[in-house]
Amino acid sequence: MLKDMLIDEFQYTVSDLLVRNKSIIDQATKFQDSNARVNRSVVKAVTQCGCIKIHAKKQNYSTDGDIEELKKLMKTHLEGKLCDNCRDIIEKEIGRNLFYLTSLCNTLDLNLYDVIIKELDRLKMLGKYNLR
């Protein structure tokens, strides 16, 4: 129950701290911008720092195999490990992204914990057939 209290506390704190971007339009665009910043920080870890490398190619898989076999075949295309600096930057950007996601939840009167629980239930219900 500590986890749901932590998420609720985060949501209430976002509500208290959000002053300038109260408009749903501002929140939606800030959320989109923060998502782009997450992506950019990952790319910079590759192109500027070099702590991780991307070796992407077509994912080869068999359509007649089982799900466990498919999991083993699918690759992340990443090599290496985030350095401490890149990890800090990416965590900060993901945190900012969570802030604006939460602000959208607040404006739309959605509880972030409930959203997470409902998505978890959908994932469990669909199980391996979800395949995102």
The model's pTM is 0.84
pLDDT of residue 1: 65
Higher pLDDT, 62 or 44: 44
Cβ within 8 Å of residue 66, ≥6 positions away:
none
Under the banding of pLDDT at 50, 70 and 90, the label for residue 8 is very high
Q: Where are the domains of the chain?
A: 2-15+24-129
What is the structure's pLDDT at 18? 84
pLDDT at 76: 87
| pLDDT (mean) for 111-128 | 88
The per-residue pLDDT for 31 is 96
With vertex at residue 79, the alpha carbon angle to CA 92 and CA 63, rounded to the nearest 5 degrees, is 105
Tokens of 62: 């068999």
Which pLDDT score, from 0 to 100, does residue 69 have? 79
Query: What CA–CA distance (Å, rounded) separates 104 from 37?
Result: 18
- What integer pLDDT is reported at residue 34 of this predicted model? 97
CA-based angle 77:71:88, to the nearest 5?
A: 45
Of the pLDDT bands very low, low, confident and very high (cuts 50, 70, 90), residue 127 is confident
Least confident among 36-50, 60-74, 115-129:
60-74
Question: How far is the C-alpha of 129 from the C-alpha of 123, rounded, in Å?
Answer: 9
What distance in Å separates the CA atoms of residue 65 and residue 21, rounded to the nearest whole number? 49
Backbone angles phi, psi at 55, to 5 degrees: -120, 85
